[in-house]
């Protein structure tokens, strides 16, 4: 059996990212740590890797692992949605308008207007979605799903 354990995201400023995700998604910080040494160098393939981490518990289940490399000095990755290799993380929310407001107030770099999808027969039909960029420029998506309609 496979299931998603967590999503790991490298960030430029750990405290800034913790504040962003906790204020937008009501995450709870489960654990913070500093990790380094031979095991991390083997795991990451980065010599002299020193990483400050935070595990954030999402209210509906699941975990975000935020990682800030403090050694060696990182570069900022440019991420464009249309480039191969780009990825995004989507979060189910109960109120997309409120979540969008909170994201913008917390420093989202941009946040599209919500769009209600019209895809009859698809699991996306009537879902309301919007894209935003977190403080590191990573695309995140908010999804408010409509309850399924009963067959007539």
CATH 3.10.180.10 placement within the chain: 7-71, 89-144
**Quick check: helix, strand or coil at residue 66?**
strand
Alpha helices in 111-152 (DSSP H): none
The alpha-carbon radius of gyration of the chain (Å, integer) is 17
Report pLDDT for 122.
93
* Angle ∠(30,98,24) on CA atoms, nearest 5: 25
Tell me which architecture the domain covering 89-144 has in CATH: Roll (3.10)
Q: How confident is the prediction for the chain on average, in pLDDT?
A: 91
Report pLDDT for 139.
94
The string of pLDDT tens digits covering residues 35-48 is 988 888 888 888 88
Question: Does residue 16 carry a pLDDT above 60?
Answer: yes
pLDDT band for position 78 (cuts 50, 70, 90): confident
Tell me the mean pLDDT in the region 73-87. 81
Report pLDDT for 64.
97
Q: Which CATH superfamily includes the segment(s) 7-71?
A: 2,3-Dihydroxybiphenyl 1,2-Dioxygenase, domain 1 (3.10.180.10)
Report pLDDT for 148.
57
Q: How far is CA 138 from CA 12, 98, 124, 125, in A?
A: 11, 20, 23, 26
């Amino acid at each position: 059996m496979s299931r998603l354990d967590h999503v790991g995201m490298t960030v430029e400023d750990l405290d800034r990212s913790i504040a962003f995700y906790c204020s937008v998604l009501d995450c709870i910080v489960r654990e913070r740590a500093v990790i380094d040494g031979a095991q991390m160098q083997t795991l990451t393939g980065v010599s002299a890797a020193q990483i400050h981490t935070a595990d954030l518990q999402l209210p509906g289940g699941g975990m975000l692992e935020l990682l800030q490399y403090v050694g060696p000095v990182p570069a900022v990755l440019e991420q464009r949605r249309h480039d191969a290799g780009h990825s995004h993380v989507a979060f189910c929310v109960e109120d997309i308008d409120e979540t969008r407001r909170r994201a913008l107030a917390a420093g989202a770099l941009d946040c599209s207007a919500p769009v209600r999808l019209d895809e009859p027969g698809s699991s996306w039909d009537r879902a309301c979605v919007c894209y935003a960029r977190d403080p590191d420029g990573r695309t995140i998506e908010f999804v408010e799903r409509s309850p399924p309609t009963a067959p007539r």
